């Protein structure tokens, strides 16, 4: 009788092991599907974020192009409508030339190039950059307080 009980217990143990293996296999498969779903969702979100960033970047580039064209147009207007002779004529030509150069700079460099140039200028001249930042901050604070 003891042998029969032991065989029955062993059968129950074997059956429990088999059921546990089956359950573990199903759980593993379910986790695999869940992982694929998460990966797919993350990929979709990443694509949408990339598309949005690209659209914003394009708008910024368009805006810098418009600023550049506006500066160059203003240079032409100043050149045509400003005084042509004497000291004021020289000032008009200088202002128009500066506006035109600024427009070409913005058009050539775009926003990323200008940011790089500002970064290198700050690295080259850190103390004046800090002083300018403090001055601008002070003036903005005064303007916003009033």
Tell me the pLDDT tens digit for each residue of 65-111: 888 888 888 888 988 888 888 888 898 899 889 989 988 988 888 87
| Mean pLDDT, residues 108-131 | 89
Number of other residues whose CB lies within 10 A of the CB of residue 123: 9
pLDDT the model gives residue 5: 64
Tokens at 35, concatenated: 């992982």
**Domain spans, the chain:** 2-145
pLDDT the model gives residue 84: 86
Q: Is 1 a residue whose pLDDT tops 70?
A: no
Decide: residue 8, CB within 10 A, 0-12 exposed, 13-18 middle, 19+ buried: exposed
Considering only CA atoms, which of 137, 138, 79 is closest in space to residue 103? 79
Q: How confident is the prediction for the chain on average, in pLDDT?
A: 82
**pTM attached to this predicted model:** 0.51
DSSP letters, 52-79, are: HHHHHHHHHHHHHHHHHHHHHHHHHHHH
Could you report the per-residue pLDDT of 45-74, keeping only the tens digit for each? 778 877 777 777 778 778 888 888 888 888
Q: For 16-30, 52-66, 109-123, which range has the lowest pLDDT when averaged over its residues?
A: 16-30
pLDDT the model gives residue 139: 93
For residues 100 and 111, what is the distance between their CA atoms, to the nearest angstrom? 17
Please answer whether residues 107 and 68 qualify as being in contact, where contact means their C-beta atoms are separated by less than 8 angstroms: yes
Tokens at 136, concatenated: 């601008």
Cα–chain center distance at 38 = 24
pLDDT the model gives residue 124: 93
């Amino acid at each position: 009788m003891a042998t029969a009980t032991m065989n029955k217990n062993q059968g129950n143990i074997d059956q429990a092991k088999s059921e546990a293996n089956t359950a573990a296999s199903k759980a593993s498969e379910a986790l695999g599907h869940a992982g694929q779903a998460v990966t797919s969702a993350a990929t979709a979100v990443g694509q949408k974020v990339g598309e949005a960033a690209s659209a914003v970047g394009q708008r910024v580039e368009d805006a810098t192009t418009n600023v550049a064209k506006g500066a160059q147009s203003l240079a032409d207007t100043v050149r045509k409508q400003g005084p042509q002779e004497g000291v004021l004529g020289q000032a008009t030509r200088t202002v128009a030339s500066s506006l035109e150069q600024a427009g070409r700079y913005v058009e050539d460099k775009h926003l990323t190039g200008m940011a790089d140039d500002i970064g290198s200028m700050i690295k080259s001249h850190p103390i004046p950059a800090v002083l300018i930042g403090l001055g601008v901050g002070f003036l903005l604070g005064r303007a916003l307080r009033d």
